[in-house]
Amino acid sequence: MLEYYNYIKALHLIFVITWFAGLFYIPRLFIYHIEASQKASPEREILVKQLQLMTKRLWYIITWPSAVLAVLFAVWLLILAPNFLQQPWMHVKLTFVALLIAYHLKNHVIFKQLQRNEVNYTSKYMRVWNEGATLLLFAIVFLVILKNAFNWIFGVVGIIVLGILLMLGIRLYRRVRDKNPEA
């Protein structure tokens, strides 16, 4: 079965990429939905209906299947190479993956609320929330690539700096958008 290891690893990586694509885009659709819900009728109803359809297709046709397949191929890889479970970096990676799954499930809760036209978050909150997948992607990729060479101090500082830069980017975008609503 080890001769198939690289094929399984390639499939795992493909589905991780498509999973993240969905996780990057779904909060953006949430933002549009929240902002559309504040518009006047009939524009509000037209936009909300279209955004609900787009979100539903993205969530159930791309994001959920990709998440399930990425996890299944990951488990298969660990079954084929159980020695990875003995390495400390893998424990940390699996912790980040657990956070990624929690982030995915929270997006599912938000998705269900918006499908029922329940708007419980502001577009500003969702812009910050949108960066959760980015932070997790950086953490997981650097951990997988650097493995034991991963310097925890620099890694933690790097993720904090990335988070600060993302927040500053959001603020800058908001200022530009407030000055020019077409941006």
| Binding residue ranges | 12, 93
| CA of residue 37 relative to chain centroid, distance | 23
Q: How many CB atoms lie within 10 A of CB 42?
A: 8
Which residue in the block uniquely carries the two structure tokens 């399930």? 68
Distances (CA, A) of 161 to 37, 87, 134, 135, 170: 34, 27, 13, 10, 14
- The token pair that represents 11 in the structure block: 């499939």
Which residue in the block uniquely carries the two structure tokens 């299947």? 65
3-state secondary structure of 40: coil
- CA-based torsion, 122, 124, 130, 135: positive or negative: negative
- CA-based torsion, 103, 109, 113, 116: positive or negative: positive
Which residue in the block uniquely carries the two structure tokens 């991780």? 16
Binding annotation for heme: 12, 93
